[in-house]
Structure 1
Amino acid sequence: MAAYGEEGGEPRYAFHHLPQKSFPVLESRDTRDRLLKWSMDGRIAAQAFSFDQNFKGYQRDDFIMAFFNHPDVNSNLKLISPSGQWTTLDTSVRKIDVKNILCKQVSMSFFDRLYCKGVVRESGSIVKCFDEYHDDILIADELRKVLLLEDSDHYDLFSHLDREEFLFCLFKHLCLGGALCQYEDELGPYLETTKALYKELVSVQKDPETKEIKIISTIFKVCAYDAHGLCYPSSNIHEQNFAYLIVNPLKRHIYVLYHSFGEACFYN
């Protein structure tokens, strides 16, 4: 285990919490109002940390294990306790599950395919359906069927690789919301919030030769385990319990986007 010791001559990783870094989109009145409606306000958080060594993809697991067990991360990384209160990790992480998330999309035209017969009308209104439940999530329209049900008539609008994209993941999480989610009748609010959050979390740069915008962030979806089992982002596995690490290798910053599924709760 590389934790934050040295292995094979590689330098230690040191991480620092950056409490001064704000995330204006999550703090804006419009977003807060929407998150409240979607039962996510008070259960979603973004944090920033820095690191002091070059990030190398092949050291992914060592890097993330070191991240969780570094004292400045361990004592500052937010999560919601089983009782519904915000707390910090404060435990020794023994195991991690890490999934690489694709991040190549630079245009919201990615979602234009939703404007098809049976999902979203040209006006932007979402087609309703008979209510059913999937993993405690109410499916009341064809959009949520596309997002969740493989036997949906329109599931193949997005390929497996499309669904691995961070842009899609953000959109899906916002659409599904929390335990008492009041769903939108129109697609617009979901797209607007997804775009704003994606732009705030993901770093880009322009290729000096082609002038094309390229994403430089690397995204990981993570789970962590301590001596008692799964401890982060939650002790329960659920579609809407998630934590993403968004790594900017140039600035040596890590943004953490976290959410715990449940009824609305508020910061102390």
Structure 2
Amino acid sequence: MSGSGDQSMEPRYIFHHLPQKSFPALENRDIRERLLKWSMDGRITVQAFSFDQNFKGYQRDDFLMAFFNHPEVNSNLKLLSASGEWTTLDTNVRKVEAKNVLCTQVSMSFFDRLYSEGVVRENGNIVKCFDEYHNDILIADELRKVLLLEDSDHYDLYSHTDREEFIFCVFKHLCLGGALCQYEDDLGPYLETTKALYKDLVSVQKDPETKEINIISTVFKVCAYDANGLCYPSSNSHEQNFAYLIVNPLKRHVYVLYHSFGGAFFCN
């Protein structure tokens, strides 16, 4: 359906892939080593695209359908195949499921409450617990219990609204890692990596009057479906198969944070 002859219709968005856009967090040597340890290196990526019109929140669904089906996105948007090779979407997307993700946190003090008794000690050491599994994810410490188990003693450290925050989502994904994840004993690496990645993805602006820093990005967690069903971020759903679209309405940029759950790939 084209709106070319109908002035009442909103024009379609035009997208451009921005391969030159760099995301320092994923190029940082220390972070790359951590991602390898967490079984996420080679399975996580960030891409950038630009778009040509103002983004309005109420047009979210039209924007997302236009995004996934635009030729330049469709042929450049990366995903991992079942065999573990990077490929591109290259399919006609028929439906997009999107969830608005809160994005208001501008300080890492959001995680200070983890240093309460029983989760993380004052020196940063994560308190261990007996091993159990949740959706193929090993739970071997109190931090993962807080992240995954609603009946854990400390689950209520973070409210439902807190857990909807993008910074919490990023932190949780990094803590849970991939299929062969070697977990950290210390909270520090998780916090440092969360901060670096979050800073790369989220855009802020200072209010000229109050001097407060406000986030201007809008974040969506997305799943796309083609004629065969779920096709993106993966054909099977898992807590650690995820794709977030982070929209900067001023620059008219879309950043895509993508990860596919699995083992590490030792390739260049």
Letter in 1 for 2:106: V
Offset at residue 9 of structure 1 (A): 2.0
Matched with 1:168 is 168
> Within 5 Å, which residues of 2 pair with 1:113-128?
113-128=113-128
Offset at residue 50 of structure 1 (A): 0.2
Matched with 1:237 is 237
Gap change, CA 1:152 and 1:6, over 3 Å in 2 = farther
Matched with 2:137 is 137
Matched with 1:153 is 153
Matched with 1:9 is 9
Contact 2:45 2:257 in 1 (8 A): yes
Contact 1:4 1:13 in 2 (8 A): no
Instruction: Give the percent of matched residue pairs that are identical in Structure 1 and Structure 2.
Output: 84
Offset at residue 105 of structure 1 (A): 0.2
Contact 1:205 1:215 in 2 (8 A): yes
Matched with 2:57 is 57
Matched with 1:20 is 20
Cα deviation digits, residues 219-245 of structure 1 (max 9, x gap): 000000000000000001000000000
Task: Flag structure 2 segments of 5+ consecutive residues without an equivalent.
Answer: none
Letter in 2 for 1:264: A
Cα deviation digits, residues 18-71 of structure 1 (max 9, x gap): 011011110110110000000000000000000001000000000001000000
For residues 245 and 207 of structure 1, what CA distance do their matches in structure 2 show? Answer: 24
Gap change, CA 1:169 and 1:245, over 3 Å in 2 = same
Contact 2:204 2:216 in 1 (8 A): yes
Q: Please give the secondary structure, in 2, of the residue aligned with 1:173.
A: helix
Offset at residue 3 of structure 1 (A): 11
Gap change, CA 1:267 and 1:101, over 3 Å in 2 = farther
Matched with 2:80 is 80
Contact 2:3 2:9 in 1 (8 A): no
Gap change, CA 1:124 and 1:69, over 3 Å in 2 = same
Q: Please give the secondary structure, in 1, of the residue aligned with 2:87.
A: strand
Matched with 2:252 is 252
Contact 2:48 2:254 in 1 (8 A): yes
Gap change, CA 1:198 and 1:162, over 3 Å in 2 = same
Gap change, CA 1:79 and 1:5, over 3 Å in 2 = farther
Offset at residue 265 of structure 1 (A): 2.1
Gap change, CA 1:54 and 1:267, over 3 Å in 2 = farther
Offset at residue 138 of structure 1 (A): 0.2
For residues 6 and 225 of structure 1, what CA distance do their matches in structure 2 show? Answer: 29
Q: Please give the secondary structure, in 2, of the residue aligned with 1:99.
A: strand
For residues 119 and 3 of structure 2, what CA distance do their matches in structure 1 show? Answer: 47
Moved >3 Å (runs of 4+): 1-8
For normalisation by structure 1, the TM-score amounts to 0.97
Cα RMSD for the two superposed structures: 1.7
Contact 1:222 1:245 in 2 (8 A): yes
Cα deviation digits, residues 99-127 of structure 1 (max 9, x gap): 00000000000000000111000111000
Task: Flag structure 1 segments of 5+ consecutive residues without an equivalent.
Answer: none
Cα deviation digits, residues 123-142 of structure 1 (max 9, x gap): 11000000000000000000
Contact 1:144 1:175 in 2 (8 A): yes
Count, aligned residues:
268
